[in-house]
Amino acid sequence: MGIHSHSQGPQAISASPFKHGLSYNEVFGTKEGGTPLTAGLFDITQSDSVNFVYPGDEFLYIISGEVHLEDEDKKEVTKLKAGDIGHIQKGTRTKWSTPSQGKGFWVSQKEHGASLHEHTY
- pLDDT over 70 percentage in the chain: 69
Q: Is the pLDDT of residue 113 over 80?
A: no
Q: Is the pLDDT of residue 2 over 90?
A: no
Looking at the domain assignment, is residue 84 inside a domain? yes
Looking at the domain assignment, is residue 37 inside a domain? yes
CA dihedral of 80, 38, 27, 118, whole degrees rounded to 10: -80
Looking at the domain assignment, is residue 74 inside a domain? yes
Strands 58-71, 93-97: parallel, antiparallel or unpaired by DSSP?
antiparallel
The pLDDT confidence band at residue 111, using thresholds 50, 70 and 90, is confident
Looking at the domain assignment, is residue 5 inside a domain? no
The domain of 102 spans 16-119
Looking at the domain assignment, is residue 68 inside a domain? yes
- Confirm whether pTM is higher than 0.75: no
* Number of independent structural domains in the chain: 1
pLDDT mean across residues, the chain: 79
Selection from 9-18, 32-41, 48-57, 91-100 with the highest mean pLDDT: 91-100
Looking at the domain assignment, is residue 83 inside a domain? yes
CATH number at residue 102: 2.60.120.10
- Helix, strand, coil distribution of the chain in percent, nearest 5: 0, 50, 45
Looking at the domain assignment, is residue 3 inside a domain? no
Q: Is the pLDDT of residue 75 over 60?
A: yes
Looking at the domain assignment, is residue 6 inside a domain? no
